[in-house]
């Protein structure tokens, strides 16, 4: 059986109470950075844990787990797939197109929680998609 894991909501780390329309979940991002982590990394770890739970089930073919990441969960889903070979395919929609797009445009909404400090010096999101090959990544709008 093929399982699709959909990540769209952000649970406790995406509560409306802390969700600023411009800066997103800035309070939790700042707390993560203070302990040497990123929200992208923490959310990717949560996704990997969900994959682990699925893979342990007897009715799941662990080699056919598909991941769907939407909106603010798309970038963490991309990182989860990059670091977890158990995810067979990924579909992302509403994803930040690139870290370079943050540098090229003056005004942004809710990108603070999508950033990995220093990443742009080494790679960008489209390159991360390429690095995942030959596993399938579909990027939608």
Number of domains in the chain: 1
E-strand ranges in the chain read: 3-7, 65-70, 87-93, 136-140
pTM, full prediction: 0.82
pLDDT tens digits, one per residue of 3-23: 555 555 555 545 455 566 656
Q: Stretch 96-124: mean pLDDT, rounded?
A: 86
Residues in CB range of 47: below 8 A, 6 or more apart: 5, 7, 67, 69, 76, 77, 80, 84
For residue 61, the enclosing domain spans: 3-140
Q: Residue 134 pLDDT > 90, yes or no?
A: yes
CB 72 within 8 A of CB 14: yes
pLDDT tens digits, one per residue of 34-84: 889 998 999 999 999 999 999 999 888 888 899 999 988 999 999 999 999
């Amino acid at each position: 059986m093929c399982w699709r894991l959909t990540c769209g909501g952000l649970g406790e780390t995406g509560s409306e109470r802390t969700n600023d329309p411009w800066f997103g979940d800035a309070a939790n991002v700042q707390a993560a950075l203070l302990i040497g982590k990123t929200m992208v990394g923490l959310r990717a770890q949560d996704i990997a844990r969900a994959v682990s739970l699925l893979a342990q089930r007897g009715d799941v073919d662990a080699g056919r787990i598909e991941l769907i990441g939407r909106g603010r969960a798309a970038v963490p889903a991309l990182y989860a797939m990059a670091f977890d070979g158990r995810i067979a395919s990924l579909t992302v929609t509403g994803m930040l197109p690139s870290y370079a797009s943050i540098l090229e445009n003056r005004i942004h909404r809710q990108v603070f929680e999508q950033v990995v400090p220093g990443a742009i010096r080494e790679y960008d999101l489209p390159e991360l998609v390429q690095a995942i090959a030959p596993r399938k990544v579909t990027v939608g709008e």
